[in-house]
Amino acid sequence: MKMKLQLNFYWIICMMLLQVSVAWGQPANDNCANATNLCPNTPVNATNQDATVDACPGCADGASTAGNFCFGLENTIWFTFTTDADGGDVDVNLTGINCVGGAGFDDELQGVIIEAGTPCDESTYSLVSNCPTSAGTLTLSAMGLNPSTTYYIQIDGDLNGAGITDPATCNFAIEITGSGVEEPSQATLNASATSVCENDIVQYNVETPDCDDETYNWFVDGVLVATGTDSIYNHVALADANVSVEVICNDNTLCSSTYTSNSVSLSVEQVEVEAGSDVTIFQGQSTVLSGSGSGTFSWSPPTGLSDDNIANPVASPDQTTTYFLTVTTANGCEETDEVTVVVIEPIAIPNTITPNGDGINDTWVILRIELFPLAKVMIYDRWGQRLLNDVGYQNDWDGVFLGIPLPPSTYYYVIELNSGVNGEHDIQTGFIELIY
């Protein structure tokens, strides 16, 4: 008796698990109220495995299992779609139909497109498509559908033929196409200019008159450069380019529409200009500027220039000056480069020192010698004996040689500035009077 009760208990549990597994296995779109929405050109994977039939007058699947139109009902699933603002023709394509095999199983699907006066009420259904039955692939076609109208698609497994005992149970992909659901591209791209100078800002504006809620993907030469909700894009013109925009219309919350605009070609004139390398001169010297480019030349400021409208003027500034060279093409495009002329004041060399300890003129102080850290300072007596040979002179020579004060006399100096600047100021010579 105990064994029998245990067996009954296990049988009940197994039946409950079986019922749960069947419930879990039913497709979500097993009934019309949960029909899967289809968007244009967007394949959806589907199955009618474990689907059921809801058939009675006023029910969703049909008035009876005989069906309302051209086939009996076995394992029906549902899809739905809404036509665009213009309406038109649609095709519903089932591809990759892969059915359960084995003895007695059918391998064909069948389907229809339905217009429902009342959603999911079979008494208001009307057939608007063909009624095909096929294996492998299947196409439902409907002509001249009304604009902005919701239609339903009913897919069922066929049960027909000698030796067939079970309806077709299949996996497949379903996709809807056609003018009735595919709105024509409504994105028109305009540009503030199509021929510009390098670094100009070009403004692009896209018009989509039949869409209110939009997002935009902007492309330059096919590369995504910006995204957002602004219908205006400002582009910095660096080189020739092709600009386009992809507009995603979100007015239909179930199916967004994507429009690709026309492509606008942009021609960019690039201006070549080179002001040359920076240069250093001593005050009072001149240098020739090394400007180049294609077009007319203009230097600014004109101060210290022999001619501010040629490529290579002579520059003789009194102080360090940055010159800007602007080249202008025949089309009015401009580009600017700069060069700095560094002006060094020459050193000032006194010719007398009086190292008598009164704190005035006790050492030989060369003004601005600190600007030339590589300068070499040498002092000689009248017989050519070198008394000082110093690099990085610190203005500290006081007329002493080997710890002994030199006698009053005339001495001679040679200063090599080693500034890297060619010219008369780089090596200077003269005399010093040593007076006590």
Burial class (CB in 10 A: 0-12, 13-18, 19+), 165: exposed
Indicate if 156 and 48 belong to the same structural domain.
Answer: yes
Residue 343 β-bridge partners: 281
Is the same domain home to 217 and 250?
Answer: yes
Can you tell me the distance from the alpha carbon of 382 to that of 379, in angstroms, rounded to the nearest whole number? 10
Which CATH number do you get for residue 292? 2.60.40.10
pLDDT, position 83: 93
Asked if pLDDT for residue 314 goes beyond 50, the answer is: yes
Q: Measured over all CA atoms, what is the biggest interatomic distance in the chain, rounded to whole angstroms?
A: 143
State whether 39 and 91 are in the same domain: yes
The answer to whether position 3 is within a domain reads no
**Please, which residues have CB within 8 angstroms of residue 36's CB and are 6 or more apart in sequence?**
28, 29, 44, 46, 77, 78, 79, 80
Q: Is residue 127 part of a domain?
A: yes
Q: What is the extent of the structural domain holding 50? A: 24-177
Q: Do 252 and 290 sit in the same domain of this protein?
A: no
Establish if 8 belongs to a structural domain: no
CA distances from 40 to 181, 379, 384, 417, 436 (A): 6, 96, 102, 82, 107
pLDDT of 271 > 90? The answer is yes
SS3 51: coil
Domains identified in the chain, total number = 4
- Flag whether pLDDT at 430 surpasses 90: yes
Burial zone of 418 (CB within 10 Å; 0-12 exposed, 13-18 middle, 19+ buried): middle
Whether residue 19 is contained in a domain is answered as: no
Is residue 137, in this structure, part of any structural domain at all? yes
Alpha-carbon span 128 to 124, nearest angstrom: 13
- Condensed to tens digits (0 to 9), the pLDDT of residues 130-184 reads 999 999 999 999 999 999 999 999 999 999 999 999 999 999 999 999 999 987 7
**Tens digit of each residue's pLDDT (9 = 90 or more) over 29-63:** 999 999 999 999 999 999 999 999 999 999 999 99
Instruction: Pick the last residue of a domain from 269, 303, 328.
Output: 269
Whether 129 and 253 map to the same domain: the answer is no
Do 54 and 78 belong to one domain? yes
Q: Which of 145, 177, 209 is the last residue of a domain?
A: 177
- Verify that 152 and 250 share a domain, yes or no: no
Q: Which CATH number characterizes residue 409's domain?
A: 2.60.40
Q: Which helix (H) or strand (E) holds 47?
A: strand 44-47
The answer to whether position 6 is within a domain reads no
